[in-house]
Every structure is written in C-alpha cells, then in structure tokens.
Amino acid sequence: MKKTRLDKKFAALKKEGKKGFIAYIGAGDPNLNDTIDIVLKLEEAGVDIVELGLPFSDPLADGRVNQDAAIRALEAGSTFDGVMECVRKIRERSQIPMIFYAYLNTLTARGFENSMNEAAAAGVDGFLILDVPCEESGPYKEAIKTANLNNIVLITPTTPAERTSKIVKNANGFVYCVSREGVTGVRDTVAEGAPALVAQIKQHTHLPVALGFGIGTPEAAAEAAGYADAVVVGSAIVNKFHNNPHTEEGRADAAAFVAKMVQAVKN
C-alpha cells in the first residue's frame, strides 16, 4: 500500500516531535460550497488533518451537535456524489489529509467497493467506519486496502485489552481512542481514564493514537496532547462555525477559535 497524505503527515509530525490536531466538521453543513471554505479556513488555522462526517440520517455514535449538523447537511441536499465533488474541489486548492467519519449504510447503498474507489479518486485518504465490528470487517478492510485508503479503527473505554489487540490489527493510519463512554459532545475536561486507555492501546500497536470525543477547550486539548499522538476536536468546532454568522468575518472568528486549540496542542 502506498503512503497516503495521512501517513505522510503523521510521519512528519513524529520527525518534528509535534502532536497532531484533527478537526471534525460535518460535510455539507451548512452546505457543500461552504464546506470547501471551512476546510480551507481550518488548514489556515494550523489543523493537520480534517475529519469529515459523511451525512447520515441515523448517526448512532453522535451527540446532539453532530446529529444536528448531519440533519442540516441532508436538508441542504448533500449526497455521496455531492460530497465527493466537494472533496475534488478542495483538492484543487489543498493537499491537507482528509478522512471520512462514516456509517456503513451510506457506503453499501452504492456498493462498498464502488464507494471506496470513488472516494479515493476524489482525493480522500481514509475511512473511520463507526458500525463495523472487527469480526465482520474482513471484506470491508480488503476493499479499503485495495483502494489505497487508511482504515481507521475505534477503541472505547469499554473495549477489553484482548479485543483491543484484535481491532488494531485491522488498522492503519492511526487508532482513534474514544476518551469517554457515550456519544460525541463538548466537555470542559478530559475523562479521568483517558491516559490509561491511551497507554493500553499503545501496548498493542505502533500506530499513532488520537484522542477524541468531548474535547472542547484549549486546556482539555493541551492535556490530551500530553499523552496522545493527536487530538480530535469536533463538536466544539461544529458549534463555533454554526453559531457564528456565515460571513467572511464569522468564519474568520471561528477559525481563530480553532487556531487557539491548535496552539494549545502544539505548545
């Protein structure tokens, strides 16, 4: 498998002795044209990797903020084809690594292999598929690999150690560590058990470990960067872009908020 933009980014961060910052937004929220602008603003703010939520009507792992973002995207007419065209337009102006946070139904509706090939051709680097247990992942991981995409996996606080070792064998790119039980959402502090969970994962893989779910302040992001290889911030960023005016000034203000979070992780 050839190295993706994601692989190269993590290799560069390791060489520099820096931690990564991954920003989550909903693709198509508030619409696909604005998604292009938001991704470019995130890159300008210093974000290393962008995680795009592929709009889905029943996002089980998501809290209210990201559910609402998915609904807004669907109501704005976002489709798989439209999102891939959005990625192609971003690629005309940026080579920032982009991965999709997705649910299986959206990808199997048009044929899973077709979805992977279309995504790779558009310029996507990988997928984090929320609802595929490792026991059923065989044909999916093969299609992801064949398309030269990263297969990112989730480990949660309730994942036993022996199961962690099975799950991470299917992964490349990085391992996404869920900091707390429950769904996505903004919190002021990192869950108490997060450092031990990251340490446990690192016993089973040499891949970078990114910590997400509930990181909503620069202080929490800095704390997470103390022991994880990358920090994922989603709901706080989705909220900021949504609640600000959809104007150049509003977007600049939201990007400035993200830049503070990035600096907290980098310093």
CB–CB of 256/75 below 8 Å?
no
Using alpha carbons, list the distances in angstroms from residue 77 to 63, 71, 74, 121, 129.
Answer: 22, 10, 5, 22, 22
Which residues have a catalytic role annotated?
Answer: 51, 62
DSSP string for 161-188: HHHHHHHHHT--S-EEEE-SSS----BS
Residue 224 CA to residue 240 CA, distance in Å, equals 21
| Per-residue model confidence (pLDDT) at position 50 | 98
Q: What is the mean pLDDT of each run of 10 residues along the chain (267 residues)?
A: 97 98 97 98 98 89 82 96 98 98 95 98 97 93 97 94 93 91 52 88 97 91 96 95 96 98 97
| Per-residue model confidence (pLDDT) at position 12 | 98
Tokens of 197: 């969970």
Helices 112-122 and 138-146, packing angle to 10 deg = 30
Threshold 0.75, pTM exceeds: yes
| Per-residue model confidence (pLDDT) at position 183 | 47
Q: Kindly list the structural domains of the chain, giving each domain's residue range(s) and its CATH number in brackets, ordered by start.
A: 5-266 (3.20.20.70)
| Per-residue model confidence (pLDDT) at position 135 | 92
| Per-residue model confidence (pLDDT) at position 52 | 98
